[in-house]
Amino acid sequence: MTAAARPAPRYGSDLLVDLLQALGLEYVSFNPGASFRGLHDSLVNHGGDRSPRTILCTHEEISVALAHGYYKATGRPMAAALHDVVGLQHASMAIYNAWVDRVPILLLGGTGAVDASKRRPWIEWIHTALVQGNHIRDFVKFDDQPASVPAAVESIIRAYRLMGAQPTAPVYVCLDIELQEGPLPAGAALPADLARWTAQSPVQADATGLAQAAEWLAAARSPVIVAGKVGRSAEGVTALRALAEGLAAPVIDGFAGFNFASTHPQDATGANAATLTAADVILAADVVDLWGTLRPGPSSGGPRTWSLSPGAKVISLTAAELLVHSWSSDYNRLQPVDLALVGDTKVALPALASLVAERLRPADKGMRETRRVGLAAASAKRRADWASEARAEGSKDRITPAWLAFCLRDAVAKHDWVLSNSSLDEWTRRLLPINERYQWTGGSGGAGVGYGIGASLGVALAHKGTGRIVVDAQPDGDLLYCTSALWTAAAERLPLLMVMNNNRTFGNSERHGGTIAEHRGRPVERRGIGTRVDSPPVDYASVARGFGISASGPVVRPADLPRALATAVEAAAAGEPYLLDVVTELL
Ligand SMILES: Cc1ncc(C[n+]2csc(CCOP(=O)(O)OP(=O)(O)O)c2C)c(N)n1
Ligand SMILES: [Mg+2]
């Protein structure tokens, strides 16, 4: 229903739905609740359940994770509606994930009646807080509880504008029941020229600093680029590649989203220590944990030592410090740098790439070409070694994440595919050609388990109808948190292939159990107590079928995996969800 075809708004929430439409929001995910029944009714009956359309989820954590995944796959924010204080509490961990990932979501709450003399007894008292935003204020960019319909219109516009400006982040606007359900106040209307209220230019880095960075990079003998979340913009990705190719510089990809093609000859991901310690100039683009990134060490702990070359210059380019809250330390450890450029890589990297291109000395061409050839040989060797290591795991008794990634690579090779969740212990990037920005949307941000399946729904919703298969390498523990997300996958008929990485354990915790037992000289064999989910084992294929999803497995033997995957991929290629249960070994 276009705005013109819609009836005139009669209630406060009708106008707010008109606003959501005018802002271009396509979907509102939620689990229903009386605190936003006015908004719900307006979405369904005033808006006709189109633009925005409702997506029913069975838990608020799923609603928010879905919106999180959808934004990363499309660059278009969604709204998620959260039932007063209880839905908000269920949603809070997913909001925290989106916050750390700096992903915008328009969170709409319901509350009230704020005027206590009008409240229903009990339920509206226990579900009204002073004010609800307190609960999540530390991990949203903005929250508000407007007291009238005109104020709600302005508040939602402000929230929308703020969440989309770098650094993007979730925002929360809580709507009083009375404001939603009451008749539209006389004179309340949407601004005619909405773009004038919402448009904002990106933050460019300081010109002198960019020129300095270009000088250093162009003159470097061993420049290195580290990419964190450049993939937030297509422009950033294109410029990163141009910059790296111009400089013949290796790129280390943090893989928190797509940054750099995994098969690019200058990809040095996986050779982090050797690459970083050889550098004389390092450009860190959109890297938040720069301290951790520059000290290559074991990912599961252990000593990290300062190992950059003496005199190596570090340039950081990020807008991250424009949004820092103090409650959680998601800003990470402080890293001294030689040049701290504050700006959006979307515009700053293209500018830097041009400035570097102007400064590259023809006399250094030979040096650059030698470097390029060396990098290509090293990257080809790394990938070949990884492939043979993974192939060899096919002769083990049990399926390992490497063998799973290896078989997945072949199974999807003839299709256009997207990876929505989990790196299979980093094996996906090592083995699969992840060369397009849409192919990988990154992890949870806040490392809150339960993100993966919900976010995969959002990614699959984004790609529905494109013919692409969205592959969710799905850890068992993460699915157990939000199992009922499977219902939304079925109801929305999402093109989602869930391939279980079912090690029948909260594996990360089991590994930690082994580490601490070893450290204390206690029996490591007991690390499965309180971590393993194998007695009884969960039959995920039956679980999926119970939600109306076709499924097969469990596949246990490595030799059976290629065939099972081929069947699963064919089923998913038809555009329907499919779950393949694969039992893997915890390494
Ligand atoms: C909400 C939440 N609770 C607990 C943890 C601690 N934790 C980190 S990883 C992990 C195990 C997750 O198991 P699974 O999804 O099966 O992945 P696996 O480690 O087995 O690959 C747990 C419990 C967490 N990160 N988030
Ligand atoms: Mg597990």
- The tens digit of pLDDT for each residue in 170-192 reads 999 999 999 999 999 999 999 99
User: What does the block give as tokens for 55?
Assistant: 């997506």
β-pair type (79-82, 251-253): unpaired
Rounded Cα–Cα distance for residues 420 and 503 (Å): 19
Give mean pLDDT, residues 576-587.
Answer: 96
Instruction: Please work out whether the CB of residue 515 comes within 6 Å of at least one atom of ligand 1.
Output: no
Instruction: Please work out whether the CB of residue 477 comes within 6 Å of at least one atom of ligand 1.
Output: yes
Sign of CA dihedral 340, 343, 346, 347: negative
User: What does the block give as tokens for 39?
Assistant: 């908004």
Rounded Cα–Cα distance for residues 483 and 35 (Å): 26
**What type of residue sits at position 555?**
V
Asked whether residue 312 carries a pLDDT value surpassing 80, the answer given is yes
Asked whether residue 300 carries a pLDDT value surpassing 50, the answer given is no
Rounded Cα–Cα distance for residues 170 and 115 (Å): 27
- The tens digit of pLDDT for each residue in 3-59 reads 556 799 999 999 999 999 999 999 999 999 999 999 999 999 999 999 999 999 999
User: Which ligand 1 atom is nearest residue 479's CA?
Assistant: 15
Protein residue with its CA nearest to atom 23 in ligand 1: 506
User: Which of 505, 508, 538 gets mutated to test ligand 1 (max ligand atoms within 8 A of its CB)?
Assistant: 508
Protein residue with its CA nearest to atom 5 in ligand 1: 449
What spacing in Å lies between the alpha carbon of 50 and ligand 2's midpoint?
38
* Residue 236 pLDDT class (50, 70, 90 cuts): very high
Q: For residue 180, count CB atoms less than 10 angstroms from its CB and return exposed for 0-12, middle for 13-18, buried for 19 or more.
A: buried
What spacing in Å lies between the alpha carbon of 484 and ligand 1's midpoint?
18
Rounded Cα–Cα distance for residues 9 and 177 (Å): 17
Instruction: Please work out whether the CB of residue 475 comes within 6 Å of at least one atom of ligand 1.
Output: yes
Asked whether residue 123 carries a pLDDT value surpassing 90, the answer given is yes
What spacing in Å lies between the alpha carbon of 448 and ligand 1's midpoint?
8
Q: What is the pTM of this model?
A: 0.97
- The tens digit of pLDDT for each residue in 386-412 reads 999 999 999 999 999 999 999 999 999
What spacing in Å lies between the alpha carbon of 547 and ligand 2's midpoint?
21
User: Which of 97, 509, 532 gets mutated to test ligand 1 (max ligand atoms within 8 A of its CB)?
Assistant: 509
Domains plus CATH for the chain?
12-198 (3.40.50.970), 207-379 (3.40.50.1220), 396-583 (3.40.50.970)
- The tens digit of pLDDT for each residue in 520-562 reads 999 999 999 999 999 999 999 999 999 999 999 999 999 999 9
